[in-house]
Amino acid sequence: MANAVIWRADTILTDARTTLRDAEVITQDGVIQEVRSRTAAGHDTVRDLGNAILMPGLVNVHTHLDYTAMRGAVEDVSFFPWIRELTSRSALLTPDDWLASAVWGAAECAAGGITTIGDCTPTGNAAEAAALLGLGGVIYQELFGIDPAGQSRDIAMQELEEKLARLRRLTRGTGLHIGISPHSPYTVRNELLRATARYANRHTLPLCIHAAESLPECQLIRTGQGEIADSLRRRGINWKPSGETTVQYLDDCGLLGKRTLLVHGVQVAAADLTIAQRSGLAWAHCPRSNAKLGNGVAPLMLLGPRIGLGTDSAVSSNTLDMFEEMRFAVYMQRASRRQIEVVSANQAVGWATEGGATALGINGRTGTLRPGSSADICAVSLNSLTCQPAYDACSALVYACSARDVVVTVSGGRVIYDTSLASDAMDRFPEIDLRSWARSLEAAASRIKQWKRAE
């Protein structure tokens, strides 16, 4: 049995609604044992963070760690050409590049107080990277296949099974679970969506899909018109519009249920709310990605109660900073609805912690500092110029703090990022040598730069 650690800070946020002063959190063997009033320290290790907020590790419900090396590579291009250029540039990456890219993303999560992720990975490298950094959460194996003339359904499902077996190996003995992500309704054809839904059901696996993100996606499904439809036609792919919203279409495919996480939900209709509530699905709300790619603002009142926050990849929103994401979530809802009451700072902190854990189906295990939960903790310093003075913990976190204010991140009881180790951010990861990964990332970036637009 490992020695207990006593964690102290001037403010402790056990969940978005509960702020404690003069308290301490006791962790042992990877679990939160107790949250109590401060005691005289005994023989156990005491870590006092002083003028800081000690809170649950942040839950980033939607990332693509694999794509971190593409940060800033495709900018100011509209949505569909953006996704095509991203795919085309990533074809230049070697297997080592992909891993370095994912490790860099996982390190950025750890440094930003994130202990839990929901990650969609085409390569599986996100699982290796998350395990290396000590992150928990759900790694969804991504799947593509819009063209019936390409891979047959049986081969695609066989390949998926092999990739899932690899993910299972990579995540054994970690805090990571595996799931499946058919990428989107415009990159995975109907019969594959149905087959994936059946497979996930049979094996009780969580599902994740990008849904109702852009206007061209919704036009494709409803009327068979628009930019994506034109592109499919040019590729000789026969598409039958269903006349439905994306949510209705995915419901017909059997994809929606309690273990389903839909990502984006910008283009939703009132009728979709009934489906969301009946099926019990959850949403990953990614306000910065939705805004930056010009897709719009998700109408949160139509998404139902199960909502987590996601940064999306570093290609979409450039940083995996959950503080920015919380701030943006509040600002965008208030600006678009012209109302203050529509969302509060506490609510945003709730989405970024317990709400995220619920959306990923792992609530009770993480997302709060309650006894019995995994020891997933982050400490946010209030010593920076922009954070002083601080009168209310949630307001400070959402309106003033950033990922750079995180001083310690603990995942499953392991310290995975600690600013007290070194002044240089590269040397603050006790379990990995980030400097060697930085060289690999540079090599990946040099290949991405070599990309040339086809004439």
Query: What residues make contact with Zn ion under the rule CB under 5 A?
Result: 312
* Start-to-end C-alpha separation, the chain: 63
Residue 210 C-beta: closest distance to Zn ion, Å: 5
3-state DSSP assignment of residue 223: helix
Nearer to Zn ion, 205 or 286 (CB): 286
Angle at 153 between CA 147 and CA 159, to 5 degrees: 105
Query: In this structure, what token pair is assigned to residue 314?
Result: 């570093």
Nearer to Zn ion, 118 or 136 (CB): 118
* Residue number of the CB atom closest to Zn ion: 312
d(CA 49, CA 43): 18
Residue 181 C-beta: closest distance to Zn ion, Å: 9
Residue 242 C-beta: closest distance to Zn ion, Å: 23
Query: In this structure, what token pair is assigned to residue 165?
Result: 């077996």
Nearer to Zn ion, 213 or 405 (CB): 213
Nearer to Zn ion, 312 or 418 (CB): 312
Would strands 45-48 and 5-8 be described as parallel, antiparallel, or unpaired?
A: parallel
Token pair 């939607």 in the structure block, residue? 62
Residue 127 C-beta: closest distance to Zn ion, Å: 16
d(CA 110, CA 135): 8
Residue 217 C-beta: closest distance to Zn ion, Å: 13
Residue 311 C-beta: closest distance to Zn ion, Å: 10
Nearer to Zn ion, 61 or 408 (CB): 61
Query: In this structure, what token pair is assigned to residue 428?
Result: 């603050």
Nearer to Zn ion, 27 or 196 (CB): 196
Residue 263 C-beta: closest distance to Zn ion, Å: 6
Nearer to Zn ion, 6 or 314 (CB): 314
CA 17 distance to own-chain centroid: 23
- CA distances (Å), origin 195, targets 192, 198, 210, 280: 5, 5, 17, 21
d(CA 343, CA 340): 7
* Strand residues in 92-154 grouped as ranges (E): 114-121, 136-143
